[in-house]
Amino acid sequence: MNALAQAACIAAVALAAAGGTWLVKGPPGRQLHCDPAVLKPDEVCLDSIPAGDGVVWVDARSRADWEKNGVPGSLLWNLDPAEDMQAFEAGVAMRISETPRVVVYCGDENCGVSRQVADRIRNLDLGAEVSVLHGGWRALSEAGRVRGSSPSP
């Protein structure tokens, strides 16, 4: 048997095994999982944040995304140079005075903008507890907590 035939055999066996697993176990689970043991120091899991009015949500994505499917009641604060940073500061400061817990979320799991925005909010020194949401907008969407979403099964 030549090398090509061997490779084809291996590929066929692997494909059959993958297909069998799919049939028995179902499609691969792509739902976001948040393990508190591996969180970065300033991150929180969505499960640990109660739904309701106890948190100021800050959306670090673009204005268009925030308007389309942000968390209801959230505030926008991104790093777009076209935006008015002083307006962001004032808006967040006013809300922090009523609710001193802030969670910033971004567009995806690895988005660093939410961490930069969280730093800026901390630097206001208003005494708020400021965290970054692990999993970002995707985690919120899967939990049905953004505009136009419903919880994933």
Residues within the interface to other proteins (CB under 8 A) = 3, 62, 78-86, 89-90, 93-94, 96-97, 100, 110-113, 116, 123-127, 129
Locate 52 and state its tokens: 């309701």
CB of 81 to other proteins, least distance (A): 3
- Nearest to other proteins of 123, 150 (CB atom): 123
Q: How far is the CB of 51 from other proteins (least distance, A)?
A: 23
Which residue lies nearer to other proteins by CB, 110 or 148? 110
Q: Cα 52 to chain center, whole Å?
A: 18
* Closest C-alpha to 56, from 153, 148, 133: 133
Q: How far, CA to CA in Å, does 30 sit from each of 26, 33, 126, 139, 146?
A: 12, 9, 38, 11, 19
Q: Do 57 and 74 touch, CB atoms closer than 8 A?
A: yes
* Residue nearer to other proteins on the CB measure, 47 or 119: 119
Q: Which of 76, 83, 36 is nearest to 56 (CA)?
A: 76
Please, what is the minimum distance in Å from the beta carbon of residue 79 to other proteins?
5
Of 48 and 97, nearer to other proteins (C-beta) is 97
Question: Cβ 98 to other proteins, closest distance in Å?
Answer: 8
